[in-house]
Amino acid sequence: MGLFSPPLSSHIPRRAFLFMPFAFAGLVALSSRKEHPLPDAAKGGSGSKVKLIIFSDNNERKGTVEVSKIVKTGAEWQRQLSAEEFAVARKKGTERAFTGRYWNNHEAGLYRCVCCGNAVFGSDEKFDSGTGWPSFWAPVAEENVSTQTDTSLFMKRVEVLCSKCDAHLGHVFEDGPAPTGLRYCINSVSLRFMPRE
């Protein structure tokens, strides 16, 4: 382009000028729109029915029930949980190794989801993995936990969730002991331990 180029408007078709006010209005509307966090229902919990195995606190199997998934907004979960519980169980965080209350727990009992009380793991399946997190070779019942692919942190892992409320519990790896060969690596803060009487 030379020093004395014709004005820019001569290079733009007339139709473009007709649409510019609408495009500008759309951009203003998008930029002024406030971001509202999605409720947990929009992140996977649908209130749909799920079958669970019920256990007493003494780890006795009581039977199967069909219940609706627990669905709450992020604000409702924040009111119910501590800041650390919310960060891990609802925001998929991870506690630091060797800091959780259950990584070195050897008592007999049942581990329940911190969010909804669903029985998720038992002491009979717990083993010392040396990782600094509570580790189990199986859940207390397959129905009570679910899994999904996790591609965060630039790696592919399998996330473990509570089937009743979709709380983030931890991850499962294929380097555990017999009989399953699995290691459910779970955050203590996502659990409540009920000692066996």
CA-nearest of 164, 168, 147 to 51 is: 164
Rounded to 10 degrees, what is the CA torsion of 185, 187, 193, 196?
Answer: 10
Tell me if the bond preceding 6 is cis, omega within 30° of 0: no
Angular region, 18: left φ>0, alpha ψ -120 to 50, beta rest: alpha
**120: helix, strand or coil:** strand
The catalytic position among 113, 116, 165, 185 is 185
Which residue type sits at 2? G
Sequence-ordered list of residues with C-beta below 8 angstroms from that of 8, at least 6 positions apart, any chain: none
Known catalytic residue at 185: yes
Cβ count within 10 A of residue 20: 11
User: What is the set of active-site residues?
Assistant: 185
